[in-house]
C-alpha cells in the first residue's frame, strides 16, 4: 500500500507533537475506499465507467462442451443447435470457480472491495457439480426436494417455508450467494415443458407458495431469483417467441403472483424471461421491469436476465434489467460505448449498479462467510420426505382400495416403480446422492412384494439402460424405456398377489414442450399394461391402484374407470419411494389438492388452439386469446366439466364444513370470514379450506369465482374440529379495468364460497358493497401492439 506524501507529512507532524498512536494512524492514513453496507452511493461515485460496465454483466460461464477462448484471439460466438451464443468471458475460464457447476458469477472489483457473487440453479434443489476434479473422497450432493407443482399441491405455506429454510441452508453451506429459483410461471397449458418447476394455474397459489419458499431460503442470508418474469409459459422457440397478451390478463393472471411474491418476500432478485412480450423482449421492457416491478410493487433488489436472454444490452440497462447473464465482454463494451455516445445515461447505469451493490453487501461472499461444504443432508432428506407426502393428491379411491394394509402382497408393475423420477430435467434437475425407488420405499415400509415380477423388471431395465443412447447435450434426453411387456405374467401375478400397483411416469424439462401423443395421452404399451393388469386382477376380485409419477398434467379420463385407485405422486424428490409408501400405507393420510386442473380432454384446455403458437412449423408468436380464462376460471365460466377440478383431492377420512360467518354483511374496509371444519371420519387427517369469491358482473367479463384465500388445518384427530378465519380486503374484490387503468371493486353482491375444492363448495354467504371502490390506479403498461380476439364468456 502506498502512503501519499500528504499523509506522510501529517504523520511526521503528529509524531513530533508526541501524539502518535495507532488509532490516530488509522484515522490519518488514507484508507482506500472499500464497499460497506452503508456506502453504496459513494462506491458508485468512485467506480469508473468500465468497472460499472463489468459489474452489470456477468463473468460468463463454462458451457459444457464449449472450448475455452484462445489467448490473444478475439473470442467468437458459438452455435448450439441453431442458437448463437455470444462469446464467453475469458474470466470464466481464467478465474477459478468458487462453486463448480454453479450457473454463473458476477465480476469482482477488488480495488473497491466488491466481491464476485456466485449464482446457481434451481427450483427443486441446489444444482452444483457433485464430484470435483474426479476426487471421490468428498462429494457435494444436494437434496432434491419435491418439484414445485407437488409443493403447491400441499396448499401448506408453512410446510413450503420449512422446505425453503432447509434448501437455503444448502445454498449457504455450499458457498452460493443467490439461488436461481423459485420458478413461478402460470400453468397455462398442460404441455408446458417446465410446468413441474412452476406451482399452479392460479396466481394466488403461485404467489403465496413463492413468498413462502423465498422467505425460507432467504432466512439463511442468501438470495433468490424468482423467475421467469413474465408470460413465459412455453418452451417452444423460447428464446424469441412473441407472447401477445392483453394488459388485463397480464395483470390479473401472469403478473399477479409475482406481485404477491415481491410484496410478501422481497426476493433479492428477479429473473426476466426469454420471450418477447407484445413485441419486445421482457428484459428490454421498461414498463415491465421498472414501472410495474420496481415502482409499483417496490422491488428493492435487482433484475437479471435469463441466460443469454434478450438481444440489446443497452436496451436492457435502460429497461432496468440490472444484470446481464451469464455475460460476455461484448455486452460491457456496448454499454461503455452507449454511455460515451449519450444513448445510455450514466444516471440509469448508476441506478443499475446501485441495485446490484445493495444486494452484494448482503451476500455471504461479501461478509466472507466460511461455508462448510457439509450441510445436514440427512435432516433435509426428512424435510423432503415430509413435504412430498403432504403434496401428493389422492385422485380416486373406490371401495377403500387404499391404504394398503401391511399384510397385503403387492404386485408392482410399471418401469417407473423401479426407476422413479425424482424431478424434471434441465436446470430444474438436481445432482442428488440417491433416489429411493417406489420398490425400495415399499420394501422399507415392510410391504410384501411379488419378487419374481420385481426381478423381471430389474433385469429388463438394466438391459434396456445399456442400450439407451447417451445424451448429446444438455437439451437432449433419450426417449423413455418402453414399458415391459407383462402379458405372459399377469395371470400368475393376479393369482399370487393381493393387489396390483402400476406406476406411470413422465419427464420433461427446459428446451421443449411436451407432446400430445404418447406423453399427454398414454402410449399403447401403457394403455395395454393398465388394461391387462386390471382385467386379470379384477377377474380375481382384486384391486388395482395407479401411481402417477409425473411433472405435469396428463390424460386420466380415458383410463381411470379401469382402476380402483389413483395416487398422484408428482415428482417427489430424492425420498420419492419412501414418501409414496407413506401415503399408500396410510402412515400419512393424503391431504394434497390439485393446484392445476386435470381436464376431461386436451381439446377442453382453453389455450389448446393457441399453443405453442403460429406458424405451426416454427412458432414465432403465441396469442393468449383465452385472456383471463386460465384453468378453473375457464372451466367454471364456460361450464366445461374437468376430470378433476382445481382444488380437488381425497383423504382417507371425511370432513364437514359448518358455520361460515362473515364479520359483516356490508363491506367497509375488510370482511373476516370464519368457518369450522370437523374430521367426521375415524382417522386423523388434514383438510385444505379454500375460499372463493364470486363478484358482481357489470361492465366487464369476470370469472365465475376466484380463489381469494386458503389454509390447511392442523392434523385433526377423528372427531376434532378447527375454526379458521380469512380476511377479505378491497383488493380481493377488484378486477382490472384496462379502460381506466385501475383495479376496481364493483358495487353489488359478492358471494363467499368455502369448500374443499373449486366444485365442492360446502358453505356460502354473501355481502354487499354499496359503492364502487377504485382500489388502485396504475400507469398504463404492457399494451399489445395488435388487437387480440379475446374470449368473452359474460
Catalytic residue annotation: 306
Q: Which is nearer to ligand BGC, 150 or 184 (CB)?
A: 184
Q: Is 379 helix (H, G, I), strand (E, B) or coil?
A: helix
d(CA 140, CA 175): 11
Q: Is 662 exposed, middle or buried (0-12, 13-18, 19+ CB in 10 A)?
A: middle
Our CB check for ligand BGC shows the closer of 227 and 678 to be 227
C-beta closer to ligand BGC: residue 120 or 589: 120
The answer to whether the beta carbons of residues 745 and 757 sit under 8 Å apart is no
242-244 and 269-272 beta bridge pairing: unpaired
Nearer to ligand BGC, 508 or 563 (CB): 508
- Contact residues: ligand BGC, CB under 6 A: 103, 121, 180, 227, 306-307, 427, 510
Smallest separation, CB 61 to ligand BGC (Å): 8
- Asked whether the beta carbons of 755 and 692 are under 8 A apart, the reply is yes
Backbone phi, psi, residue 724, to 5°: -115, 150
Residues in the chain: 794
Q: For residues 328 and 309, what is the distance between their CA atoms, to the nearest angstrom? A: 12
550 half-sphere exposure, CB direction, 13 A CA radius: 26
Q: Which residues 6+ apart lie within 8 Å of 686 measured at CB? A: 589, 591, 651, 712, 713, 714, 715, 716
Nearest CA among 56, 32, 37 for reference residue 111: 32
What is the C-alpha to C-alpha distance for residues 55 and 74, in angstroms, rounded to an integer?
Answer: 21
HSE, CB side, 13 Å, CA atoms: give it for residue 771: 4
What the block records as the C-alpha cell of 462 is: 438394466
Lookup: cell for 176: 452460493
Residue the block writes with cell 420433461 = 508
Q: How far apart are CA 440 and CA 461, in angstroms?
A: 15
Sheet strands side by side (includes 670-679): 655-662, 670-679, 721-729
Would you give the distance in Å from CA 501 to the centre of its chain?
30
> 151 by DSSP, 3-state: which?
helix
The rounded distance, in Å, linking the Cα atoms of 185 and 306 is 14
CA 236, 58, 269 angle in degrees (round to 5)?
A: 70
- How far, in Å, CA of 634 to CA of 640, rounded? 8
H-helix or E-strand spanning residue 396: strand 393-397
Amino acid at each position: 500500500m502506498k502512503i501519499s506524501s500528504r499523509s506522510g507529512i501529517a504523520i511526521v507532524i503528529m509524531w513530533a507533537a508526541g501524539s502518535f498512536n495507532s488509532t490516530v494512524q488509522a484515522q490519518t492514513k488514507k484508507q482506500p475506499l472499500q464497499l460497506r453496507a452503508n456506502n453504496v452511493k459513494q462506491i458508485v461515485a468512485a467506480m469508473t465507467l468500465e468497472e460499472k460496465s463489468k459489474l452489470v454483466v456477468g463473468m460468463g460461464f463454462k458451457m459444457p462442451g464449449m472450448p475455452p477462448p484462445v489467448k490473444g484471439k478475439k473470442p467468437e460466438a458459438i452455435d448450439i443447435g441453431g442458437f448463437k451464443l455470444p462469446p464467453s468471458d475469458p474470466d470464466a475460464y481464467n478465474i477459478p470457480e468458487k462453486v463448480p457447476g454453479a450457473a454463473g458469477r458476477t465480476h469482482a472489483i477488488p480495488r473497491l472491495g466488491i466481491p464476485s457473487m456466485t449464482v446457481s440453479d434451481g427450483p427443486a434443489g441446489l444444482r452444483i457439480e457433485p464430484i470435483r476434479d474426479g476426487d471421490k473422497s468428498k462429494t457435494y450432493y444436494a437434496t432434491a426436494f419435491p418439484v414445485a407443482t407437488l409443493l403447491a399441491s400441499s396448499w401448506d405455506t408453512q410446510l413450503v417455508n420449512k422446505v425453503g429454510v432447509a434448501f437455503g441452508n444448502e445454498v449457504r453451506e455450499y458457498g452460493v450467494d443467490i439461488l436461481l429459483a423459485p420458478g413461478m410461471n402460470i400453468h397455462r397449458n398442460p404441455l408446458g415443458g417446465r410446468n413441474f418447476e412452476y406451482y399452479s394455474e392460479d396466481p394466488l397459489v403461485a404467489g403465496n407458495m413463492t413468498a413462502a419458499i423465498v422467505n425460507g431460503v432467504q432466512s439463511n442470508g442468501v438470495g433468490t431469483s424468482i423467475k421467469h418474469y413474465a408470460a413465459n409459459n412455453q418452451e417452444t422457440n423460447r428464446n424469441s417467441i412473441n407472447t401477445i397478451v392483453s394488459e388485463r390478463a397480464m395483470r390479473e393472471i401472469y403478473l399477479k403472483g409475482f406481485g404477491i411474491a415481491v410484496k410478501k418476500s422481497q426476493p433479492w432478485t428477479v429473473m426476466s424471461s426469454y420471450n418477447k412480450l407484445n413485441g419486445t423482449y421482457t428484459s428490454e421492457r421498461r414498463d415491465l421491469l421498472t414501472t410495474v416491478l420496481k415502482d409499483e410493487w417496490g422491488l428493492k433488489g435487482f433484475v437479471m436476465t435469463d441466460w443469454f436472454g434478450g438481444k440489446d444490452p443497452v436496451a436492457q440497462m435502460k429497461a432496468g434489467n440490472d444484470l446481464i447473464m451469464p455475460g460476455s465482454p461484448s455486452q460491457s463494451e456496448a454499454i461503455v460505448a452507449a454511455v460515451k455516445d449519450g444513448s445510455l445515461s450514466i444516471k440509469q447505469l448508476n441506478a443499475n449498479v446501485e441495485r446490484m451493490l445493495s444486494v452484494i453487501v448482503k451476500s455471504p461472499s461479501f461478509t466472507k462467510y466460511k461455508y462448510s461444504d457439509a450441510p445436514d443432508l440427512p435432516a433435509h432428506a426428512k424435510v423432503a420426505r415430509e413435504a412430498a407426502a403432504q403434496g401428493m393428491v389422492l385422485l380416486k379411491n373406490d371401495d377403500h382400495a387404499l391404504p394398503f394394509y401391511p399384510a397385503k402382497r403387492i404386485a408392482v408393475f410399471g418401469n417407473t416403480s423401479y426407476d422413479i423420477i425424482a424431478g424434471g430435467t434441465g436446470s430444474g434437475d438436481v445432482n442428488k446422492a440417491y433416489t429411493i425407488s417406489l420398490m425400495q420405499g415399499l420394501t422399507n415400509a415392510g410391504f410384501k412384494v411379488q419378487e419374481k415380477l420385481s426381478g423381471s423388471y430389474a433385469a429388463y431395465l438394466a438391459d434396456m439402460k445399456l442400450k439407451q443412447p447417451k445424451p448429446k447435450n444438455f437439451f437432449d434426453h433419450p426417449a423413455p424405456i418402453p414399458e415391459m411387456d407383462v402379458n405372459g405374467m399377469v395371470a400368475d401375478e393376479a393369482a399370487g398377489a393381493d393387489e396390483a400397483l402400476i406406476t406411470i411416469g413422465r419427464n420433461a424439462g427446459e428446451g421443449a414442450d411436451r407432446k400430445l401423443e404418447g406423453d399427454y395421452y398414454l402410449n399403447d404399451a401403457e394403455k395395454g399394461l393398465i388394461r391387462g393388469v386390471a382385467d386379470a386382477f379384477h377377474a380375481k376380485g382384486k384391486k388395482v391402484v395407479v401411481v402417477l409419477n409425473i411433472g405435469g398434467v396428463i390424460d386420466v379420463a380415458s383410463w381411470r374407470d379401469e382402476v380402483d385407485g389413483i395416487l398422484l405422486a408428482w415428482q417427489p424428490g430424492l425420498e420419492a419411494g419412501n414418501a409414496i409408501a407413506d401415503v399408500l400405507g396410510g402412515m400419512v393420510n393424503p391431504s394434497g389438492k390439485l393446484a392445476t386442473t386435470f381436464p376431461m380432454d386436451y381439446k377442453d384446455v382453453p389455450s389448446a388452439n393457441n399453443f405453442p403458437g403460429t406458424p405451426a412449423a416454427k412458432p414465432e408468436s403465441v396469442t393468449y386469446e383465452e385472456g383471463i380464462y386460465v384453468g378453473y376460471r375457464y372451466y367454471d365460466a364456460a361450464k366445461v366439466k374437468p376430470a378433476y377440478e382445481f382444488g380437488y383431492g381425497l383423504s382417507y377420512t371425511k370432513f364437514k364444513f359448518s358455520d361460515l360467518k362473515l364479520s359483516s354483511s356490508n363491506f367497509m374496509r375488510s370482511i373476516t370470514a370464519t368457518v369450522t371444519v370437523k374430521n367426521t371420519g375415524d382417522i386423523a387427517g388434514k383438510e385444505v379450506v379454500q375460499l372463493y369469491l364470486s363478484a358482481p358482473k357489470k361492465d366487464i367479463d369476470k370469472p365465475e369465482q376466484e380463489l381469494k384465500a386458503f389454509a390447511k388445518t392442523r392434523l385433526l384427530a377423528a372427531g376434532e374440529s378447527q375454526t379458521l378465519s380469512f380476511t377479505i380486503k378491497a383488493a380481493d374484490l377488484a378486477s382490472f379495468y384496462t379502460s381506466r387503468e385501475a383495479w376496481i371493486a364493483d358495487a353489488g353482491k359478492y358471494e363467499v364460497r368455502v369448500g374443499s375444492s373449486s366444485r365442492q363448495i360446502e358453505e356460502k354467504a354473501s355481502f354487499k358493497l354499496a359503492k364502487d371502490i377504485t382500489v388502485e390506479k396504475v400507469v398504463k403498461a404492457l399494451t399489445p401492439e395488435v388487437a387480440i380476439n379475446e374470449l368473452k364468456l359474460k
